[in-house]
Amino acid sequence: MDLAKTRRRGAELEEALLDSAWTELEQVGFSAFTYDGVASRAGTSKPVLYRRWPAKVDLVLAALTHGGLFARRDLPDTGSLRGDILDVLRRFNAARSGFIAAITVYMADINAETGLSPAQLRDRLLDGRIDTGRQLLERAAARGEIPTRDWSTSVASLPADLVRHDLVMTLAPIPDARIVEIVDELWLPLVMEGR
- Is residue 179 included in any domain, yes or no? yes
- Is residue 72 included in any domain, yes or no? no
- Is residue 165 included in any domain, yes or no? yes
Q: What is the count of structural domains for the chain?
A: 2
Are residues 12 and 61 part of one domain? yes
Q: How far apart are CA 157 and CA 10, in angstroms?
A: 36
Q: What is the pLDDT of residue 186?
A: 96
| Residue 160 and residue 73 in contact, taking contact as beta carbons nearer than 8 Å | no
Are residues 58 and 128 part of one domain? no
- Is residue 94 included in any domain, yes or no? yes
Q: What is the pLDDT of residue 4?
A: 43
Q: How far apart are CA 10 and CA 30, in angstroms?
A: 26
| Residue 30 and residue 60 in contact, taking contact as beta carbons nearer than 8 Å | yes
| Residue 32 and residue 15 in contact, taking contact as beta carbons nearer than 8 Å | no
Q: What is the pLDDT of residue 68?
A: 67
- What domain range is 131 assigned to? 81-192
- Is residue 76 included in any domain, yes or no? no
Whichever domain contains 21, its CATH number is 1.10.10.60
Q: What is the pLDDT of residue 61?
A: 84
Radius of gyration, CA atoms only, the chain: 20
Rounded to the nearest 5 degrees, what angle is found at the Cα of 72, between the Cα atoms of 15 and 108?
75
Q: What is the pLDDT of residue 3?
A: 41
Are residues 86 and 56 part of one domain? no
Q: How far apart are CA 118 and CA 131, in angstroms?
A: 16
Q: What is the pLDDT of residue 185?
A: 96
Q: Is 77 exposed, middle or buried (0-12, 13-18, 19+ CB in 10 A)?
A: exposed
Q: What is the pLDDT of residue 5?
A: 43
Q: What is the pTM of this model?
A: 0.70
Are residues 40 and 123 part of one domain? no
Q: What is the pLDDT of residue 139?
A: 94
pLDDT, tens digit, for every residue of 65-90?
777 666 667 888 999 999 999 999 99
Are residues 51 and 103 part of one domain? no
Are residues 88 and 60 part of one domain? no
Q: Which residues contact 166 (CB under 8 A, 6 or more apart)?
A: 174, 178
Burial 142-158 (b: 16+ CB within 10 A, else e): eeebbeeeebeeebbbb
> Residue ranges of the chain with pLDDT lower than 50?
1-5
Are residues 108 and 155 part of one domain? yes
Q: How far apart are CA 4 and CA 86, in angstroms?
A: 52
Number of C-beta neighbours around residue 41 at 10 A: 17
- Is residue 74 included in any domain, yes or no? no
